[in-house]
Amino acid sequence: MTSRRRFLVAAGLTAGATGLAAGSATTTSAKQGTGSASSTKNPAFEGTYQSGIIDEPRAASTVAALDVTAENRYELQELFCTVTERARSLTSGDLFDPTANGVIETPTDSGTLGSGPGPDSLSITLGVGASLFDRRFGLKPKRPHRLIEMDTFAGDRLEPDKCGGDLSLIISANGRDTVLHALRDILRHTRGGMQVRWKQDGFTSAPRPSGTPRNHFGFKDGISNPTTSELTKLVWAHDHDQRWTANGTYQAVRLIRMFTEFWDRIGITEQNNIFGRDRATGAPLDGNRETDQPSFAMDPKGSVIPLTSHMRLANPRTAETDGQRILRRSFNYESGLSANGDLDVGLVFVCYQADITKQFATIQRRLSEDPLNDYISHIGGGYFLALPGVRGSSDYLGQDLFV
């Protein structure tokens, strides 16, 4: 029982309290090492929204889905406090470990980042899945209607051990070591409260040669996203469903295997027509630059951009579909081999929206006719609600769930 409850000690939470006793110690040093506004500065941990949503994925990312093993509501509360405290500490960029040469405790820090290289654009984003709102924690009345179990779409080849989860954790940073360090740290402090259900590591390519990073098919992926001023309308959850969801956002994660061997065996014209963009430049087939807006209205027959192209099906850019647009935060993955000896590579598709049913799921149904489907396979994922941000040193992720 001692090891199982280890995370309680780390949280420093006293019975009945909803605040964090240990939190303040780390926040005072939060600014250390972030003096210059270099590109490695970690996004602010506290704020109206969680970090890692507006922030684009960095070079290395990991998504992990977790099953909560905490046994009651109080333990769950403690789990959220601990994750908050660890995320706060990790994103502070301060790796000072008082236990480094201790004799009673093993070192708290894994040491994989040395004694502290400072910030590395680290963001940690926590989400909750529909399964958390079952009987275990008395959260049923708190479940937002919009938080649903992931749909199965036509053509899906979902592997049950890569689907769902009570929680999601998306960690992103410049260095792979920074991401893994953060994950190890969080898991170590929460062993008694949650276990990883599935996880996928991935990366975001550098711009080649410029602009939006490319996916494994050689195409720039995620060119068109809502603008900052559109996020309130399209992305942030509001409080009309459940009060506590305000400033959260619904997160759809899909693990999409890409059959690159097959893809590499089709001609460039077909590749361009499938996406509706020019592979070399990323420009829509009716434009010259990746940022050019396609004029579907001027091309009703699809003689320039095929009616069945991925970009046109995904976002037809009509008045009716305008409210379906999503904030995409996907990254590439590569992990070993698939059963037939092919490379197991693909996309960790991540998107944020105010309503999954009206946005991602509607788009995904429309993509059932997407010619791209022959070259990809959806194998896992889950729907989550990325929690509202932490609004001060006494707040913790998910606090309003327990009010």
Q: Which residues bind another protein (CB under 8 A)?
A: 152-157, 259, 261-262, 265-267, 269-270, 272-273, 278, 280-281, 283, 285-288, 298-301, 303-306, 338-342, 374
Closer of 28 and 295 to another protein (Cβ): 295
Q: How far is the CB of 205 from another protein (least distance, A)?
A: 21
Token pair recorded at residue 85: 């405290």
Q: How far is the CB of 160 from another protein (least distance, A)?
A: 9
Token pair recorded at residue 22: 């240990």
Closer of 26 and 309 to another protein (Cβ): 309
Closer of 169 and 283 to another protein (Cβ): 283
Q: How far is the CB of 286 from another protein (least distance, A)?
A: 4
Closer of 233 and 365 to another protein (Cβ): 365
Return the exposure string of 358-367: e unless at least 16 CB atoms fall within 10 Å of the residue's CB, then b: ebbbbbbebb
The enclosing H or E element of 25 equals: helix 23-28
Amino acid at residue number 279:
R
Closer of 100 and 266 to another protein (Cβ): 266
**How far apart (Å, rounded) are the C-alpha atoms in residues 77 and 139?**
11
Closer of 283 and 361 to another protein (Cβ): 283
Q: How far is the CB of 259 from another protein (least distance, A)?
A: 7
Q: How far is the CB of 275 from another protein (least distance, A)?
A: 12
Q: How far is the CB of 281 from another protein (least distance, A)?
A: 8
Task: For residue 103, give the DSSP letter.
Answer: S
Phi, psi of 253 (to 5 degrees): -115, 130
Q: How far is the CB of 123 from another protein (least distance, A)?
A: 34
Closer of 108 and 373 to another protein (Cβ): 373
Closer of 9 and 154 to another protein (Cβ): 154
**How far apart (Å, rounded) are the C-alpha atoms in residues 323 and 342?**
38
Q: How far is the CB of 287 from another protein (least distance, A)?
A: 7
**How far apart (Å, rounded) are the C-alpha atoms in residues 89 and 108?**
12
Q: Are the CB atoms for 172 and 393 separated by under 8 Å?
A: no
**How far apart (Å, rounded) are the C-alpha atoms in residues 264 and 250?**
34
Closer of 135 and 301 to another protein (Cβ): 301
Place of tokens 């788009």: 363
User: Which candidate, 113, 73, 68, places its Cα nearest to that of 89?
Assistant: 113
For residue 46, list its beta bridge partners: 390
Torsion, Cα of 24, 247, 226, 217 (10° steps): 70
Closer of 227 and 340 to another protein (Cβ): 340
Q: How far is the CB of 273 from another protein (least distance, A)?
A: 7
Q: How far is the CB of 154 from another protein (least distance, A)?
A: 5
Residue 293's contacts (CB-CB under 8 Å, 6 or more residues apart) are: 284, 287, 317
**How far apart (Å, rounded) are the C-alpha atoms in residues 205 and 14?**
44
Q: Are the CB atoms for 311 and 290 separated by under 8 Å?
A: no
Token pair recorded at residue 149: 């179990």
Amino acid at residue number 341:
G
Task: For residue 304, give the DSSP letter.
Answer: S
